[in-house]
Amino acid sequence: MKKYMKEMKLFWNDHQVAGYRLPISYCLLLAVPFLFFSCSLKKEKLPILGQREMNGNDTVYHTVAPFRFVDQDSAIVTNATFNNKIYVTDFFFTSCRTICPVMKSQMLRVYEATKNMPDVLLLSHTIDPEYDTVALLHDFADRLGVESKRWHFVTGAKDSIYKIAQTSYFAVAMEDKTEPDGFIHSGAFMLIDKHGRIRGKYDGTKEEEVNRLIGDIKILRQE
């Protein structure tokens, strides 16, 4: 809306400079359909985030690098687990007392909202794999009351988790002993499409942002 106001103003100023004195109602008349158009345009397709390269005439988009982790049922989770699936991913740790519990209650909303969507999965990585063992993650998921088929909580080598966070998902995750919980990490949720491309980034600690994510999942499923 703000952007639209700015455009309106520019439009108005341009015309004043040009010597016209367009009545405001005329501007509105022009702007209203434009607004509708731009909204519907935006709703049709989600952006593809990250760097892109040209390969001949084809655009090559940033995709999630190969990974291999273990989930709460000791099952191996790789890119193949998400073959032909849309997934939402984040980084957390079970003993965290700051933003993670909020992220988990928000991710639980995504879990509930996608209950009847067999092509949508959730993937939460622990950034404290030394403490968050498979058994602990199992207990955590169980207490949260979620199915491991739909929501994988994974652990693995610390370096590979931090690396995939930073290079594949553009998320912040690192150890920092000066932080209250011992880690710095972002509360971001990332939306990944069926081709491993990043289609959205949301603040997983904010209800409105998570509402937007839930809306975007529906848009992405139309592709």
Partner 1 sequence: MNCLQWVVASGLLMCCCTSKDMKFQQYFAQGQNLYETHCSNCHQKNGQGLGRLYPPLAGSDYLKNNFEASICLMKYGTSGEISVKGIQFNKPMPGVPSLTELELAEILTYITNAWGEEHEMITLEQTSQALKNCTPP
Q: Which residues bind partner 1 (CB under 8 A)?
A: 94-95, 97-99, 101-102, 104-105, 108, 140, 142-145
Cβ at position 205, least distance to partner 1 in Å: 9
Give how far the C-alpha of residue 78 lies from the chain's centroid of Cα atoms, to the nearest Å.
19
- Radius of gyration, CA atoms only, the chain: 21
User: What is the size of the binding site for ligand HEC (CB under 6 A)?
Assistant: 2
Residue found under tokens 């009351």: 145
66 scored as a contact of ligand HEC (CB under 6 A): no
CB of 97 to ligand HEC, least distance (A): 3
**Pair of tokens at residue 214:** 């839930």
CB of 159 to ligand HEC, least distance (A): 27
Q: Could you tell me which of 59, 7, 63 has the C-alpha nearest to residue 31?
A: 7
Find the residue with minimal CB distance to ligand HEC: 97
- The answer to whether 175 touches 181, Cβ cutoff 8 Å, is no
Min dist CB 95 to ligand HEC, Å, is 8
> Of the two residues 99 and 214, which places its CB atom closer to ligand HEC in the complex?
99
Q: Which listed residue (2, 3, 21, 97) binds ligand HEC by CB under 6 A?
A: 97
Could you give the 3-state DSSP secondary structure of residue 21? coil
Q: How far is the CB of 133 from partner 1 (least distance, A)?
A: 14
Q: Which residue has the tokens 């909020």?
A: 102
Q: Which does 105 bind (CB under 5 to 8 A by kind): ligand HEC, partner 1, none?
A: partner 1
Residue 3: which of 31, 43, 25 has the closest Cα? 31
CA atoms within 13 A on the CB side of 12: 14
Dist. CA 93–CA 105, nearest whole Å:
14
Closest to 123 in 3D by CA, of 202, 159, 69: 69
Which residue, 146 or 220, is less far from partner 1 as judged by CB?
Answer: 146
Quote the CA–CA distance of 183 and 31 in Å, as a whole number.
Answer: 48
State which residue, 97 or 177, has the beta carbon closest to ligand HEC. 97
- Which of partner 1, ligand HEC, none has residue 151 at its interface (CB below 5 to 8 Å by kind)? none
**Minimum distance between the CB of residue 171 and ligand HEC, rounded to whole angstroms?**
21
Contact footprint for ligand HEC (CB under 6 A): 97, 101
